[in-house]
Amino acid sequence: MIAGLDHLVILVRDLEQATRDYERLGFAVTSGGEHADGLTRNALIPFHDGSYLELVAFLDPDDPRDNVWGWRRFATTGGFVNHCLASDDLAAGAGRLREAGFDVEGLDDGGRRLPDGEEIRWRSASVAQEGRVLPFLIEDLTPRTRRVPAGRNADHPNGATGVSALEITTSSPEEATRSYAAMAGNPAAREGGETAVILGRCTVSFAGPADGDARRRLDAIGPDPCAVRLVAGAGGARELDPDITHGACIRLG
């Protein structure tokens, strides 16, 4: 019922500037359009493995209204704010999660108007367990190929082809690993010297806050993605400048 990693959300203040900056880093960025709530708009960085990075900005950065995900609380810090798993049957998946002790909210219809005027639709739900906020889930109501650009849109000059690893900051890594594994329906396994949950080609691992800033962020907003590693071609492994990624910790290779 959970098909794997769908996308990771990066909140930015200025979408045009973020688009230019990510293009400087060698990514091909596709304009996404405006969300149906009238509060946010986005641009996408799709990969050949089917996942993507979503750059999201509020239409009015100073408008106090928040979206359903509560991303306004990240306005001063930006960076990774959430991630999403794909579901091929969200209603059945939500039922399974509730039976397993998870809190599932939503099953709400959402959508976005593409730059060409076409409307795309999806259904989503948020998941939590014992106060730990987990990724939200999405099921496409219109063809996913309209929501997620593919083909040449996923060809990046820097060679990035997909997401290979996601790390999430949490105060209780072992408990978070067990909870995430139960939610995803995949047992945790040893991967590269650490325990991780396998989501297709991507591993999800959990770590405690490494410094004071991470601890303050964790106390303020709870567990959230802190670092992502992308599969990349030639050029060697390297960390991308967080000033250019708008606060997102991204490693190529």
Q: What is the mean pLDDT of residues 159-184?
A: 89
Tokens 């996942």, residue located: 51
What are the structural domains of the chain?
2-252 (3.10.180.10)
Percent of the chain whose predicted confidence (pLDDT) is above 70: 90
pLDDT tens digits along 180-204: 899 888 888 876 667 889 888 899 9
pLDDT tens digits along 216-246: 666 655 556 788 999 987 667 889 999 999 9
Predicted local distance difference test score (pLDDT) of residue 147: 94
Please state the pTM of the whole predicted model: 0.91
Q: What is the mean pLDDT of residues 43-72?
A: 92
User: pLDDT category, 7, cuts 50, 70, 90?
Assistant: very high
